[in-house]
Chain A
C-alpha cells in the first residue's frame, strides 16, 4: 500500500519503544524548571495562583496519596472550567503511575490539555505505546482511548498504527475502542480516510455484538457513501441486531434504513387490494395478487427490528418507528403506533421529540393515531411546547367523525391561563373549520362568541382567524362582519383592528351602511393608530372611494392627507400610491382605469395548513427533522430505486460450498459461544457461556482459522473465526434412548445436532426428545446416576412436569473423551428410574475444522506412517458423483469440506471434540467407481472405526 513515504519515517522517529521512552521521561523532568517559569507567568492571571503552586508541589512529592489528592483537586478545577494548563509538566510525569486511579485522572487531564500543550503531550506517548501491549485488555483499551484523544497532528501515524493493531486485537472491547478511535483520527486528519476505510471494512466483518454499533458509527462518520461495504455484512447485522447494546442498535438501524432505500424496490406500489390483507407478517397472500415481491432481505430487516419496539430505550423505539415509516409497506406501519404512544409517558423532552414525529406522521396517516386520540389531550401541567404539539396533532387527526369531540376539547383549551396556548387553539379551530366543511359554520359562530371574551389575545386571535375563514366564503357572512364592526371600538390589539378593517374594506359592498361609518371613526383616530392599522385604513378608504365615492370622497381625501404627512415612510408611500391610483388626474390616466380591478380583485383564500406539512422531507427521528432545517452531517434518504440492484451482493460465501448441499459444511467453527446470542437461548442452555466469555480462555489450537493474531498472542485467544450463518443441522438421525414400553409410557429419542456444545467445548451436544405416551402426567424427569461415575455429563434441568401426549426436547452435553464407549446414565421420573445409554457413532465425536488446501497438505504431512489409515473401496453407483460422495462423508462424520483444486480428490478436516486432535479425511475417486480413502490422525482407533463407517456408507446405496 502506498501512503506517503513520510508516514513510516515519522513513525520511526517517535516510535522508539523502550529506550526512547526513558529518554522521553528524562526530557520531561528536565523541562520542568523551564516551564515552571511560564507557569508562574500564567499564575498571575489565575486566581488560584497559590493553590496551583501547592498542587505542583504535591504532584512532585513521592507520596502516592498526595499525588492522588492533587490530581483530584485538579480534576475539580477542570470540571469547573478553570484553567489548569500550567500544571501540565507536573502532571504528565505521573502518566506511568502504578496507581490506577491516579493514572486515570492523569489521562483525564491529558485529554483535556494535550491540544494546547502539544510538545509536552508528546512526552506521554511512549507510555501509551507500551500500554497498548499490556496483557490487561482494560489497560490496552484505555491507552488507545487516550492516545487517540490527544489531538496532536504529529502523532497521526502512531495513532494509525495503534488503530490497525487494535482492530485485530483478541478482545472485542479493545476492537470496540479502535472503532471509536477511527472517528477521532478522522476528525484530526481527514487525509487518512482511505486507510481508515480499510480498517472499517475489517471491523465490519467482526462478529462481536460489542463492536457492531461502534464500527457502524465509524462508518457513518467516515464513509457513509460506501454502501458497498455493507452488502456482505447486511444479513449479519440484521441477525445480531437484537443482541447489540442499545446505543449501537440506534446507529445500526438508522444506517440500515438508508441502506435499504438504495437496495430494495418500493413496497408502496399502491393497490387497494392490499389493504385487506391486514395479517401482521407474511406477504404470501399478496404474492399472487400483485407482481411486487418483497426482497427477503428487506423482510428480514423489518422482521428483526420489530421486537425492538419493546425496548426500554426510547431512542431505539423511535429508530424502529422511523425505519417502519420509511421502509415498511403502508399497511404494516401501524405496528409502531402503540409503542410511540407509549413513549409519551416518558420524560418531557422525549415527549417533545416523539410528538414532533407523530405530528409529521399524522398528516399523511391519520388512521394510525386516531384510535389514540385521547393520548394527545392536553393536560394543564404540560409544558407549552408540548401543548402546542398536541394541539397540532389533534388538529391533524380531526375528521367528520371526531370533530365534535375535538372541538369540545378545544373549548377548554381556549380558557387556559396560558394565553399563548389559547391563541394557538383558536388557530387550530380555524384549521379544523377550513378542513372539515361540515363544521365551518359551527366554528365560525364559536369564534364570533369568543370576540366578546375578556382576554385581548383571545379576541385578537379570533378576529384574525375569522378573517381567514370569511375569505373562503364571504357571501353568507355579512352578519358576522357587522358584528365585528360593532366590536371594533372595544378591540385594541392592532392586528385584530387591522384585520377587521381589511374585512370591511374587502366586503364593503355587502355592508354598505356600516363601512363609511367605520371609516369616519378611523379618520378621527387615525393619528393615534398603529402602523398596520393605518395602512389598512388607507386601504379601506381607497376601496370605499371606488365603490361609494359619494359618501366617502371627502373622508378619503382627509385620510390621504393625514397619511401624506405621517412619520412612517411606508405609510407615506402607500398614501402616495393610492392617491395616484384612485384619484384621476392628467398624469395617472392609464393606471387609474384599472384601479377597481387592482384593488377589488377577488383574492384567493388563505390555506391554513400544518407547520409539519413538509417535514417529511427529512428522515424521521433526526435532528434535522426536529429543527426543520438541514443539520450538518445530515445524510439524505434516497428515493427507492426503480429497479432493485443486484440482490446477490449480499450473499455471503460459505467457506467452501458444496453445491446444492451445503448445510453441514458451514459451521467450520470451534466450539465457542460466538454463534449464540442471548435472545436465542432457551431456558436451559446458557449457564456456562458467561464464564467462558469472561475468562477469554481456551481454544488455543484455533490458529488454523485466524491468521492475523499470531503477532500479539498473550495466551489469550478470543476466537475471531469466520463462520457462516447457515444453520448447520446435518442429517439428523434420531436414535432410540428409551422405548415407551420399558419406560412406562416415557419414551426418549436422541440425536446429535452437530452444534458446538454450549456447556463445555469438549462435550458433544446431544438433544433428547422426551415424550409422554402414558395417560398421566410425569413429574420431575431428570438424570440420575451415571456410569462410569467419572462420566462428564451436562444434565438438562429437571422437567417439572410433562403432560400426557406432550413432548419436550432438551439438550445435554456429554464428554465422550474421544471414545465410542457408551455413556450410561439413568433417566428418572418422580417414581421410576430407567437405565439408558447413548452410543455415539465415531463421526459424531468430531467437529468440523476449516483450513486451506495448503494447510491440509501440511498437516497431512505431519500425520503419516502410524497415523495414516487407508483403504480402497468400491463406490455404490449413486455415490460416484463428487457431490453425493461429499454428502455421504458428511453424513457419516461431522467434518468440514476443504477446498480442493483437484476434481477427483475430496478433502475433509475435523477435530475430535474432546482432545481437539486433527482428523483429516481424503477420498480420491478412481476409475471404475473405486475410491481410495485415507484418514490421517493420531487417534488410530478412531481412524479405523471411521474408515469402517465411511466404507459402509459409500459402498451401500
Chain B
C-alpha cells in the first residue's frame, strides 16, 4: 500500500525518507514541489496527486509535509488517516512534531516507522503497543542507556498486539487509581452582522485520562444521552451496549485517549455565549477607515467567559491600524494583515471595546469585502449543550478509583460575517 514516506519541511527540504518496499528515488517529490509552487499556500496543495508512475498522497500539519508515495489503488483516506496517526505518534513520543525533534530522534523515529508498517500495511498503530516495543525517550533513560548499554527496544511482543483489545497493555499497576474525563464542547457558528445565527452547531469530545490498575471495565452513563445526535467512538467502546442502553461500556486504554466525539443534534437551539457589535468601514476618499468593536456576554448560563480573542483578517489594502482597547491588547501583523485583539476575561459590567482608525494604501480602491471576525473563547465548568455525565461505574476490579468529570466550552469555528444585504440577487422564489 504505502511505498515510501518523505518528510518535507516548510521550505521544501526533504529531511527524512523511509521506504517499506523497493526504494523510490526522492526525485519523485519534484512533482509535489511543482504542485506546491502552484498552490502558493501550503494548505492549498491538493492532497492527492498523480505522477507518471506513482501517486502522491500528502498531508500538511505542524508546518511539515508528510508525503507518501503509492503505486497502486488504495483508499486515499486510508493513507491520509495513517499519516495523521504517524504525526500524532511523534507528538505523543516527543511532545511535539517538528523538524528539529524528528531529526534529534531520528533512530526512534525510524524504529517507529518500521513497526508501524509492514510492506506498507499498518502493523501496529496503537500507542500502548508501540510504547512497549519502543520506549519513548526520557532524559533519565538515555543516561541509563548510555551507562548500561541497555536499549529502548522491547524484547517480547506486547500483549496488546495479540489480544482483542490491542489498545490496553496487560499488567498495569498504579498506587493511585484515577479516571478523569473532560467533556469539551466547541461551538461552530456563523453569525451575521446583526447577530442572527446563520449556522450553529456543537461538537463535543470526551477526553479521558484513565490510570487504573488491572483490567477495569468501565461504564459511563449520561443524564441526557438523547442530546447526542451523532457519535464516534474509540474502538474500546462496545457499540452494541450503546445502541441498546445508551451507555458507554469499555475497557479503557491506559493513559490519555479520546473516548468519543459527538455532535449535538441540530434541533436543539445552540446558545451563543457572546455577541459582537462591529462597525468596520472604509471611506471612499482619503484612504482610511474606521473600526469599532464591542463584545458582550449573551447566553453564558451564569459562567464567566475567559480567553476572549477576536481575529480579523483585514483586506490587503489596510496598511496599519491605530486603535485603543478599553481592555486587553491588540496587535496588527503587517505581513499577514491579521488583527488580533486579545481580550481575556469578559466583564459583563464593563464591556470591552476596541476602536480607532485604519489607514489604507494610498490610491488603492476601497476594499470591497468586509472582513469577517473569528472569535475565540472559553467557558470553564460548562458544557453548553447541557450534556451531563450521570455516573461512572467500574467492574472487574476491586479497588475504588478516584473519578472526576470536567466540562469546558470553547469556540470552534466561530465567525461573524458581514453580509451585505443590499442584495443583487434578491430571490423571491417565484416571479
B295 interface residue per 8 A CB criterion: no
Which residue of chain B has the shortest Cβ distance to A385 in the bound complex?
A: B46
Residue contact A101 to B152, C-beta cutoff 8 Å:
yes
Cα A411 to Cα B372 in complex, Å, equals: 15
Indicate which residue in B59, B73, B146, B426 contacts A622 across the interface (CB closer than 8 Å): B73
A360 interface residue per 8 A CB criterion: no
B139 to chain A: which residues have CB within 8 Å?
none
Per-position 1/0 for A309-344, Cβ under 8 A of B: 011111101110000000000000000001101100
Per-position 1/0 for A620-646, Cβ under 8 A of B: 011110110101111100000000000
Cα A107 to Cα B20 in complex, Å, equals: 12
Indicate which residue in A76, A81, A145, A634 contacts B107 across the interface (CB closer than 8 Å): A76
Indicate which residue in B125, B164, B429 contacts A678 across the interface (CB closer than 8 Å): B164
| Stretch of A117-125, A399-407, A582-590 contacting B (4+ beta carbons < 8 Å) | A399-407
- Known contacts: A172-B162, A315-B78, A350-B80. The answer to whether A338 contacts B18 by CB under 8 A is no
Instruction: Please classify the interface of chain B as helix (H, G, I), strand (E, B), loop, or mixed, using the class held by over half of its residues.
Output: mixed
Q: Which of A101, A379, A632 has the most CB of B within 10 A?
A: A101
Indicate which residue in B75, B316, B419 contacts A417 across the interface (CB closer than 8 Å): B316
Cα A136 to Cα B48 in complex, Å, equals: 41
Residue contact A694 to B427, C-beta cutoff 8 Å:
no
B381 interface residue per 8 A CB criterion: no
B61 to chain A: which residues have CB within 8 Å?
347
List which A110-130 residues lie within 8 A (CB) of chain B: 112, 115
Residue contact B81 to A315, C-beta cutoff 8 Å:
yes
Residue contact B72 to A632, C-beta cutoff 8 Å:
yes
A65 interface residue per 8 A CB criterion: yes
A72 interface residue per 8 A CB criterion: yes
A653 to chain B: which residues have CB within 8 Å?
none
Residue contact B368 to A415, C-beta cutoff 8 Å:
yes
Cα A673 to Cα B165 in complex, Å, equals: 13
B109 interface residue per 8 A CB criterion: yes
List which A342-395 residues lie within 8 A (CB) of chain B: 342, 345, 347-350, 352-354, 374, 377, 379-381, 383-385
Residue contact A677 to B164, C-beta cutoff 8 Å:
yes
Residue contact B431 to A689, C-beta cutoff 8 Å:
no
Residue contact A689 to B44, C-beta cutoff 8 Å:
no
Residue contact A624 to B84, C-beta cutoff 8 Å:
no
B315 to chain A: which residues have CB within 8 Å?
417
Cα A64 to Cα B145 in complex, Å, equals: 12
Instruction: Please classify the interface of chain A as helix (H, G, I), strand (E, B), loop, or mixed, using the class held by over half of its residues.
Output: helix
Min Cβ gap A628→B in Å is 10
- Known contacts: A209-B164, A312-B261, A377-B199. The answer to whether A407 contacts B80 by CB under 8 A is no
A384 to chain B: which residues have CB within 8 Å?
39, 41, 44
Residue contact A633 to B18, C-beta cutoff 8 Å:
no
List which A86-141 residues lie within 8 A (CB) of chain B: 99-102, 104-105, 107-108, 112, 115, 136-138, 141
B26 interface residue per 8 A CB criterion: yes
- Known contacts: A247-B122, A307-B239, A632-B72. The answer to whether A100 contacts B161 by CB under 8 A is no
Per-position 1/0 for B400-431, Cβ under 8 A of A: 00000000000001010101100111111111
Cα A860 to Cα B73 in complex, Å, equals: 56
Residue contact B151 to A101, C-beta cutoff 8 Å:
yes
A855 interface residue per 8 A CB criterion: no
Residue contact B77 to A353, C-beta cutoff 8 Å:
yes
Residue contact A690 to B427, C-beta cutoff 8 Å:
no
Cα A385 to Cα B43 in complex, Å, equals: 9
A686 to chain B: which residues have CB within 8 Å?
215, 217, 251, 396
Min Cβ gap A768→B in Å is 17
Min Cβ gap B287→A in Å is 16
List which B61-90 residues lie within 8 A (CB) of chain A: 61, 70-78, 80-82, 84
| Stretch of A180-188, A489-497, A898-906 contacting B (4+ beta carbons < 8 Å) | A180-188
Cα A167 to Cα B244 in complex, Å, equals: 39
| Stretch of B9-17, B297-305, B345-353 contacting A (4+ beta carbons < 8 Å) | B9-17
Residue contact B55 to A623, C-beta cutoff 8 Å:
yes
B173 interface residue per 8 A CB criterion: no
Min Cβ gap A697→B in Å is 12
A429 to chain B: which residues have CB within 8 Å?
425
Residue contact B151 to A99, C-beta cutoff 8 Å:
yes
A450 to chain B: which residues have CB within 8 Å?
424
Residue contact A145 to B72, C-beta cutoff 8 Å:
no
A297 interface residue per 8 A CB criterion: no
Cα A89 to Cα B242 in complex, Å, equals: 58
Cα A407 to Cα B426 in complex, Å, equals: 9
Cα A294 to Cα B217 in complex, Å, equals: 38
B16 to chain A: which residues have CB within 8 Å?
79-80
List which A413-472 residues lie within 8 A (CB) of chain B: 415-417, 429, 438-439, 441-443, 445-446, 449-450, 454-455
Residue contact B107 to A349, C-beta cutoff 8 Å:
no
Residue contact B170 to A694, C-beta cutoff 8 Å:
yes
A282 interface residue per 8 A CB criterion: no
Which residue of chain B has the shortest Cβ distance to A245 in the bound complex?
A: B166
Cα A906 to Cα B274 in complex, Å, equals: 80
Cα A315 to Cα B81 in complex, Å, equals: 7
A629 to chain B: which residues have CB within 8 Å?
50
A858 to chain B: which residues have CB within 8 Å?
none
B19 interface residue per 8 A CB criterion: yes
Residue contact A633 to B75, C-beta cutoff 8 Å:
no
- Known contacts: A115-B23, A138-B156, A383-B43. The answer to whether A312 contacts B121 by CB under 8 A is no
Residue contact B424 to A446, C-beta cutoff 8 Å:
yes
Residue contact A441 to B164, C-beta cutoff 8 Å:
no
- Known contacts: A104-B114, A243-B164, A350-B81. The answer to whether A307 contacts B152 by CB under 8 A is no
Cα A350 to Cα B84 in complex, Å, equals: 10
Residue contact B76 to A626, C-beta cutoff 8 Å:
yes
Min Cβ gap B376→A in Å is 13
List which B229-248 residues lie within 8 A (CB) of chain A: 229-235, 238-240, 242-243
List which A670-711 residues lie within 8 A (CB) of chain B: 673, 677-681, 683-684, 686-687, 689-691, 693-694, 696
Cα A347 to Cα B161 in complex, Å, equals: 28
- Known contacts: A184-B119, A247-B125, A312-B233. The answer to whether A691 contacts B170 by CB under 8 A is yes
Residue contact B121 to A214, C-beta cutoff 8 Å:
yes
Per-position 1/0 for A126-168, Cβ under 8 A of B: 0000000000111001000100110100000000000000000
Which residue of chain B has the shortest Cβ distance to A240 in the bound complex?
A: B164
Residue contact A353 to B233, C-beta cutoff 8 Å:
no
A75 interface residue per 8 A CB criterion: yes
Residue contact B73 to A690, C-beta cutoff 8 Å:
no
B30 interface residue per 8 A CB criterion: no
B44 to chain A: which residues have CB within 8 Å?
383-385
Cα A64 to Cα B147 in complex, Å, equals: 12
Which residue of chain A has the shortest Cβ distance to B14 in the bound complex?
A: A81
Residue contact A678 to B78, C-beta cutoff 8 Å:
no
Cα A689 to Cα B159 in complex, Å, equals: 12
List which B215-235 residues lie within 8 A (CB) of chain A: 215, 217, 219, 229-235
Indicate which residue in A314, A374, A633 contacts B72 across the interface (CB closer than 8 Å): A633
Which residue of chain A has the shortest Cβ distance to B161 in the bound complex?
A: A173
A416 to chain B: which residues have CB within 8 Å?
369
A217 interface residue per 8 A CB criterion: yes
B92 interface residue per 8 A CB criterion: no
A interface residue numbers (CB < 8 A to B): 64-65, 68, 72, 75-76, 78-81, 99-102, 104-105, 107-108, 112, 115, 136-138, 141, 145, 148-149, 151, 171-173, 176-177, 180-181, 183-184, 187, 209-210, 214, 217, 221, 242-243, 245-247, 250, 254, 307, 310-315, 317-319, 338-339, 341-342, 345, 347-350, 352-354, 374, 377, 379-381, 383-385, 400, 403-404, 407-408, 410-412, 415-417, 429, 438-439, 441-443, 445-446, 449-450, 454-455, 621-624, 626-627, 629, 631-635, 673, 677-681, 683-684, 686-687, 689-691, 693-694, 696, 797, 800
Instruction: Rank and list the top 3 A-B pairs by shortest CB-CB distance, nearest first.
Output: A633-B72, A101-B151, A404-B427
List 22 A-B residue pairs with CB atoms under 8 Å apart, sorted by A's residue number. A81-B26, A104-B111, A104-B153, A173-B161, A245-B166, A247-B122, A310-B231, A312-B258, A312-B261, A342-B230, A347-B59, A384-B39, A407-B427, A411-B424, A623-B55, A624-B73, A632-B72, A634-B73, A678-B238, A687-B396, A693-B159, A693-B163
